Amino acid sequence: MATFSHMVVALAISVAVLLPTTTIATEYVVGGDSGWTTNFDYQNWAKDKQFYVGDKLVFKYQQGKHDVYKVNASDFASCTVPDPSSGLKSGSDVVTLMAPGKKWYICGVGRHCADLNQKLVINVQGWAPAPAPNSATKYGYQTFMAIVVVVLSIIAIY
Ligand SMILES: [Cu+2]
């Protein structure tokens, strides 16, 4: 009798744990259809998006024409390119957002950053609820699943 209940609980816990990681992480192609290029307003592209830890940025461009460097705030402002070995150059570079906070990216080719605006700054939010519309639904989902797990656990005990 108890085995069936225990299976339900195990299933519910699995769903609660696995679903947020598989369905909520978002992959963003930087610049959308324009990709990673010159003379594109990346701040305008980023301004209506909510970036969370676990999301991915994909920088798409013709290999050799551009590249991608993760930099700090001052190098972003001055378009200072770091050591070339730290650059991403595949033409389809996937960056997983590992930690909350501001992240800065520039192109290191020619004066693409300095003169042609090829630079992106985003603010990555953690999993904790923040006063943003998107996070409310994520938080609500996790709360809902927690309640389901607790209720099923109680049913299983009795
Ligand atoms: Cu470039």
Number of C-beta neighbours around residue 95 at 10 A: 17
How does pLDDT run across 56-98, given as a tens digit for each residue? 999 999 999 999 999 999 999 999 999 999 999 999 999 999 9
Distance in Å, CA 63 to ligand 1 centroid: 10
* Domain tally, the chain: 1
Q: Which CATH number covers residue 81?
A: 2.60.40.420
Domain holding 52, by residue range, is 2-157
How does pLDDT run across 97-154, given as a tens digit for each residue? 999 999 999 999 999 999 999 999 999 999 745 445 555 555 565 665 665 566 656 5
What is the value of pTM for the model shown? 0.68
SS (H, E, C) 80-119: CCCCHHHCECCCEEEEECCCCEEEEEECCCCCHHHHHCCE
Distance in Å, CA 100 to ligand 1 centroid: 26
Distance in Å, CA 120 to ligand 1 centroid: 12
- Burial 103-135, CB ≥16 within 10 A → b, else e: bbbbbbbeebbeeebbbbbbebbeeeebeeeeb
Distance of CA 125 to CAs 42, 100, 131, Å? 18, 5, 11
Distance in Å, CA 38 to ligand 1 centroid: 6
